[in-house]
Structure 1
Amino acid sequence: MKLTVFGATGGIGGQIVRQALAAGHHVTAVVRDPARFTVTGQRLEVVGSRLDDPQALREAVAGRDAVLSGLGPRRRSDAGVAARLTRSVLTAMEAEGTRRLLVVSAAPLGTAPEREPLRDRAMLSVVGAVLKPVYDDLRVMERELADSAADWTAVRPPKLLDKPLTGRYRVAVGGNPRSARVIGRADVAHAMLAMTDDPATIRQGVGVAY
């Protein structure tokens, strides 16, 4: 497949690029500063571009089978970046007729499963309160997705870890896995690539966790 990856210098985005190349896909990595991007590969194109200008992004998404985005706030002070930049990506995709989009959201936006342990419900509630500006940003982003014509998927991980790829994790379409507490960034990337051609995940929030 021909894939475009936004946020490719981040933890999840970088893993998407590496795993996609290893799987034989052609990858366009869109970054603000190409000098910061160290991944190489024969099927890799690195594009430096402003991410808040839809016109500048059109060439990067034109003719692609799917767009995968690791864009999002890394701290409370970044709140607002996910909705704003995803809006630019959606506008560029609509202009070029590219439909498939997968983005990173967060577990607190998902529906808790039945019989979720009280401890896990409480933990999500506390995290949601502490990081309220971040999750408000992601809620706006998900509303933008829902209002668009894109074939989108919002992947909702819990707490992220830096650990090697395992390929062993749980997936819940339309909600969260029971007791969803942690997952590695490499496995989030793996899940996103697996969902790229999965019609069951289109226009859905999907929880992922160990």
Structure 2
Amino acid sequence: MKLTVFGATGGIGQEIVRQALDSGHRVTAVVRDPVRLTVTGAGLEVVRADLTDPRSLRPAVAGRDAVLSGLGARGRKDAGVAARLTRVVLAAMEAESVRRLLVVSAAPVGPDAEGAALVDRAMRTVISGLLKGVYADLREMEAELGRSATDWTAVRPPRLQDKPLTGSYRTVVGGFPLGGRFVGRADVAHAMLAMTDDPGTVKQGVGVAY
């Protein structure tokens, strides 16, 4: 497939690029600073672009089979980034009639796991309070997806870890894995690539965790 990756220099973004290249896909990595992208490969095209201007992004998404985005806030001070930048990506995609989009959201944006223990619900409430602005941003991002014409999927991981790819994780469409508290960035990337051509995840939030 021909894929475009936004947020390609982030932890999940670089993993998406690396794993996609390893699987034989052609990848366009859209970045603000190419120096920060450490992944290389014969099927990789690196594009430096203004992420505030949909017109500048149109060539990077034109003719692609899917767009995957790791764009988002790195902390509370960046709240608002996810919705704002995703809005620009959506405008570029809709202008080029590209439909498939997968983005990274977060577990607290979606529903609790069915049958979740009280301690997990309490932990979720505390985390949501501490990062209120970040999760409000992600909820607005998901609302933008819902208003768009794209075939979107919002992937909702819990606390992220830097660990090697395992390929062993759980996903729940429209919900969240019971007892799931952690997941590695590499496995989130793996899940996103696996969902790219999965019609069952279209216009859905998908919880992913160990």
> 1:180 matched to which residue of 2?
180
Q: Is 19-28 or 38-47 further displaced after alignment? A: 38-47
Q: Supply the AA of the counterpart residue of 1:143.
A: A
Mark the runs of 5 or more structure 1 residues left unpaired by the alignment: none
Q: 1:16-35 CA deviation, whole Å, 9 max, x = no partner?
A: 00000000000000000112
Distance (whole Å) between structure 2 residues aligned to residue 51 and residue 174 of structure 1: 29
Distance (whole Å) between structure 2 residues aligned to residue 180 and residue 52 of structure 1: 35
Distance (whole Å) between structure 2 residues aligned to residue 110 and residue 24 of structure 1: 32
In the TM superposition, structure 1's runs of 4+ consecutive aligned residues that sit over 4 Å from their partners are: none
> 2:113 matched to which residue of 1?
113
Matches within 5 A, 1:10-49: 10-49=10-49
Matches within 5 A, 1:48-67: 48-67=48-67
On the 8 A contact 2:71/2:104 being kept in 1, the answer is: yes
Give, in angstroms, the shift of residue 75 of structure 1: 0.4
> RMSD over aligned Cα, in angstroms?
0.6
Q: Is the aligned partner of 1:88 residue 2:92?
A: no
Q: Supply the AA of the counterpart residue of 1:130.
A: L
Secondary structure, in 3 states, of the residue corresponding to 1:123? helix
Mark the runs of 5 or more structure 2 residues left unpaired by the alignment: none
Give, in angstroms, the shift of residue 38 of structure 1: 2.1
Number of residue equivalences: 210
On the 8 A contact 2:114/2:176 being kept in 1, the answer is: no
Distance (whole Å) between structure 1 residues aligned to residue 36 and residue 170 of structure 2: 33
Secondary structure, in 3 states, of the residue corresponding to 2:113? coil
> 1:130 matched to which residue of 2?
130
Q: Is the aligned partner of 1:69 residue 2:88?
A: no
Distance (whole Å) between structure 2 residues aligned to residue 105 and residue 40 of structure 1: 26
Distance (whole Å) between structure 2 residues aligned to residue 48 and residue 38 of structure 1: 14
Q: 1:113-146 CA deviation, whole Å, 9 max, x = no partner?
A: 2211001011111000000000000000000000
Q: Supply the AA of the counterpart residue of 2:51.
A: L
Scaled by the length of structure 2, the TM-score of the pair is 0.99
Give, in angstroms, the shift of residue 36 of structure 1: 2.0
Q: Supply the AA of the counterpart residue of 2:198.
A: D
